[in-house]
Chains A and B, each alone.
Chain A
Amino acid sequence: RKEVEQDPGPFNVPEGATVAFNCTYSNSASQSFFWYRQDCRKEPKLLMSVYSSGNEDGRFTAQLNRASQYISLLIRDSKLSDSATYLCVVKTGGYQKVTFGIGTKLQVIP
């Protein structure tokens, strides 16, 4: 089993839709979790950290389920500008123990 697994998509959704991505991780000792956004041929940029109690930033909501070992990202009222690849990142401690998922591609359609 991969350390971090994501559905690569693509997810094609109409503008205004709500879309959710999940990311599962295999190491129960994982400590920190993040969602990054990567536009085509650009560098990844931190979208948001994921806290145990869940957290929200505008239209974006991140949640962590330690029992089932997954994190999720919910995007409400999708915009065309949300089209990108969303990377799940899991830290298990130490500089080497950072694992990136392959990313989930989102395409928001007019």
Chain B
Amino acid sequence: NAGVTQTPKFQVLKTGQSMTLQCAQDMNHNSMYWYRQDPGMGLRLIYYSASEGTTDKGEVPNGYNVSRLNKREFSLRLESAAPSQTSVYFCASSEGRGIDGYTFGSGTRLTVV
């Protein structure tokens, strides 16, 4: 019973490089999310997918793209990494009924140099 699985756990990129963060959930949840967490700030929503086949921008979408590959998987892509994207990234999922809480993955620590 893995819950939400994120890969990789750590990554160092050079400015301008690209990468994809992978996320998969095995709870049959409808909704999936990508957040970033920076020191002194609350988690901020990058993109979300309310259900399979849909994706929408969150609070801080610039510089990112997402793909909801199927009900289980939701990936986040950085096309051209910038130092400002150094952060901890969390994927989360929820049943999507609106009042339920989220289950988070263990996070990806990304450093862009």
Interface residues of A (CB under 8 A from B): 4, 8, 31-32, 34, 36, 42-46, 49, 87, 89, 91, 93, 95-96, 98-103
Shortest B43–chain A CB gap in Å is 4
Report whether over half of chain A's contact residues are helix, strand or loop; otherwise say mixed: strand
Per-residue interface assignment for chain B, residues 19 to 43, with 1 indicating a CB less than 8 Å from any chain A CB and 0 otherwise: 0000000000001010100001111
Most-contacted residue by chain B among A34, A36, A98, A103 (CB, 10 A): A98
When distances are taken between beta carbons in the complex, the residues of chain A under 8 Å from B40 are 8, 102
| A96 & B102 in contact (Cβ 8 Å cutoff) | no
Known contacts A34-B101, A91-B98, A96 near B106 by CB under 8 Å: no
Q: Which residues of A contact B76 (CB under 8 A)?
A: none
Q: From residue B76, how far is it (CB to closest CB) to chain A in Å?
A: 15
A-B pairs with lowest CB-CB distance, top 6: A100-B42, A43-B104, A46-B101, A100-B43, A32-B99, A95-B48
Let me know if A95 and B50 touch, CB within 8 A: yes
B contact residues vs A (CB 8 Å cutoff) = 31, 33, 35, 40-45, 48, 50, 56, 58-59, 90, 96, 98-99, 101-107
The smallest C-beta distance from A39 to any residue of chain B, in angstroms, reads 11
Report whether A95 and B31 are in contact in the complex, using a CB–CB cutoff of 8 Å: yes
Which residues on the B side are within 8 Å of A87 (C-beta)? Answer: 42-43
Pick from A32, A93, A102: contact of B42, CB below 8 A: A102
In angstroms, Cα B106 to Cα A43, docked, is 5
A12–chain B nearest beta-carbon distance, Å = 20
Q: Is the CB–CB distance between A96 and B41 below 8 Å?
A: no
Contact in complex: A44, B58 (CB < 8 Å): no
> What are the residues of chain B within 8 A of A49 when measuring CB–CB?
99, 101
Which of B42, B59, B102 counts the most chain A CB atoms within 10 A? B42
User: Once the chains are docked, how many angstroms separate the CA of A84 from the CA of B86?
Assistant: 23
Note all chain A residues with C-beta closer than 8 A to B105: 43
What's the Cα separation between A89 and B100 when bound, in Å? 12
Contact of A98 with B45 at beta-carbon distance under 8 Å, contacts A31-B99, A43-B90, A91-B99 already known: yes
CB of B61 to closest CB in A, whole Å: 11
- Seed contacts A32-B98, A95-B56; 12 additional CB < 8 Å A-B pairs: A8-B40, A32-B99, A42-B106, A43-B106, A44-B43, A44-B104, A49-B101, A89-B101, A95-B31, A95-B96, A96-B56, A99-B42
